[in-house]
Amino acid sequence: MTERPTALVTGASRGVGAAIARALGPTHHVILGGRDEKSLAEVAAELPDARPWPVELTRVTEADVAGVERLDVLVHSAGITRLGRIADLPADAWRRMMEVNVVAVAELTRLLLPALRRARGHVVCVNSGSGQRANPDWSAYAASKFALKAFADALRLEERDLRVTTVYPGRTATDMQHEVRKYEGGPFEPEKYLRPESVARAVLAVLNAGADAHLTELTLRPAAGPVN
């Protein structure tokens, strides 16, 4: 058994999730959730006290979380996007985004509530600027992120002993942003976007706000470049 507080981070194989895991590594035992076993193992090898947790988040069961008795931090960083106009997006695209971005988050949280309650833990939902406003071609993704906000707000009210924070990063230099820019027909310009490490530092600031503080929402935007 470790004496460190325990954190579980989804989407931890790359991008923002991996950056958050690395930021938590010096102080936490980190459980690295994701599908890419090789990448998870590589991130785990960098950290002093971490273990990979290869999992398909849309099919998590009680057996998958059976070993987690106490959980101090749960960070939901995994997510997918598919852009397109409403006229062109089939129902399957909507269902898939809701399944990954909302339903999987709700189910994993539900399964881990006993462990979170024991620790009076902190749940962080890494949302998006699309969870604050909807733009053309972003309808399904924005709908899933608005729903994620609603989930976090309801969880905060229902579980009074937990802290629940929604973080809204703007455009971030990740693989997802590569795909977004490809769809938009523009270049990938990382100097105009947030770095994953900047989002990770914001999550740390949320977690370290102090025992008397409950920071419920935090919005980040790139200092240069697009607002959304």
Rounded distance between C-alpha atoms, residue 35 and residue 55, angstroms: 5
Using CA atoms, how far apart are residues 63 and 168, in angstroms rounded to an integer? 31
Counted residue by residue, the chain has a size of 228
- Residue environment code for 31-60, b if the CB has 16+ CB neighbours within 10 A, otherwise e: bbbbeeeebbeebbeebeebebbbbebeeb
Asked if residues 131 and 101 have their Cβ atoms less than 8 Å apart, the reply is no
* Predicted pLDDT at 1: 44
Which of these is catalytic: 141, 168, 183, 193?
141
> Rounded to whole angstroms, how far apart are CA atoms 79 and 141?
10
pLDDT at 160: 97
SS3 state of residue 191:
helix
The pTM (predicted TM-score) of the whole model is 0.95
Residue 141 annotated as catalytic: yes
Task: Quick: pLDDT tens for 8-30.
Answer: 999 999 999 999 999 999 999 99
For the chain, how big is the Rg over CA atoms in Å?
A: 17
Given a cut of 70, the residues of the chain with pLDDT beneath it are 1-2, 225-228
Cα(14)–Cα(67) distance, integer angstroms? 24
